[in-house]
Chain A
Amino acid sequence: MASHADFKDRQFLAVIGDELVPGLSTDVDQDSVTGLLLAGIGHVTTGSDAQKNFLIVDNKTETAAIESAFDRFTERKDIGIVLINQHVADKIRHRVDTYTAAFPTVLEIPSKDHPYDPEKDSVLRRVRRLFGE
């Protein structure tokens, strides 16, 4: 079971989110990462192998890159919560669905272009299944 040592060092949030999507008609583009970074969750580790705790996904980003970022964030010991845009999570849905560890918590967040759909959320689906719906 989760011991205290398992999560006491986790103090950061990580983000996998979308950058503005070029070609979209509106001139106000949504990017959750910028907003969340503005709130002050961005962190770059010092040292030679500087690691960012956020990944910007646009429509040129390979799915493999998202996957590897997801793996990297979930394996890091100092990250407590991984925020991931729902439509990004959809691209690596199998990965998110099979991720069952308690730490770090993977949280699917909505973005304005892609409204939140409770049906797709892996945790909410489990909730629903438990209530027998």
Chain B
Amino acid sequence: MSGAADREPVFPTRQSLGIMKAKLKGAETGHSLLKRKSEALTKRFREITKRIDEAKRKMGRVMQIAAFSLAEVTYAVGGDIGYQVQESAKSARFRIRTKQDNVSGVLLPAYESYLTEGNNDFGLTGLGKGGQQVQRARETYARAVEALVELASLQTAFVILDEVIKVVNRRVNAIEHVIIPRTENTIKYINSELDELDREEFYRLKKVANKKQRDVAAQDAEMKARREKQAAEKGAAAAAADDKTVSSADLLAAEDDDDVIF
């Protein structure tokens, strides 16, 4: 196997040519499919990045409003409720669950927030005064967390899509720049080898035909020579036997003459 050209280690036969052609076909189909997949994912990815950008800015505002409502609480209660809240936090009321979204075979998770019923860790917070503000702060923060959850699902989708797109693009490039050229090279190599074999075979056949022709010609010539020789020999023999034939002719002629009578 010689040649700088990168190709697969196959024997140049018609069978492997068929295999290589099928492989090239498959690679081209796969390439176009993957390319389309990559495009679909990239489209989705761009949408998501745009939405992330918006959502991040929105989050900034929402958090600010929420922080303000907490400030109201602090003012109304007349002291810091942080420690009380931290100590009474036991079981999450605000939870998330995940659902899936399928984009061209990629599963994108999306978070969904929900409130569990019937547990309230902060029943006593703001009991003395400022209960209304506490309630409002809770609602505001719940909305803020909802926005955060939405942003988190966008971000997760972003991270996953980023990874998947990289993988898909790597595959597309590998097929485009490695597998297809290599298969084409292999096909070219097999074709040239087969052509070479064909030429060799043709030349050999021609040689054989030539040789046969020559042999036949030689045989003919020999035969002819032999025949000529034979003919010549026959001629000489005939000449030598000329007298005999005459006498015998005479003899034959004389047979008519005398009838033999018994």
Contacts and interface: CB of A to CB of B under 8 A. Distances in A.
A63 B149 CA distance: 26
A34 B86 CA distance: 7
A110 B82 contact: no
Determine chain B's interface SS by DSSP, over half rule. helix
B81 interface: yes
A116 B86 CA distance: 25
Contacts, number: 171
A131 B52 CA distance: 13
Given A34-B70, A38-B85, A115-B60, A44 B90 contact: yes
Is the interface on chain B under 10, 10 to 19, 20 to 34, or 35 or more residues? 35 or more
A90 B129 CA distance: 37
B156 interface: yes
A114 to B, nearest CB: 11
B27 to A, nearest CB: 23
Contacts of B160: 1-2, 102
A36 B67 contact: no
Given A10-B98, A110-B64, A37 B155 contact: no
A112 B152 contact: no
A39 B53 contact: no
B91 A44 contact: yes
A40 B162 CA distance: 32
Contact of A127 (B52, B59, B107, B156): B52
Nearest to A118: B56
Interface of A: 1-2, 4, 7-8, 10-13, 19-20, 28-44, 52-54, 56, 80-81, 83, 100-103, 105, 107, 109-112, 115-116, 118, 121, 123-124, 126-127, 130-131
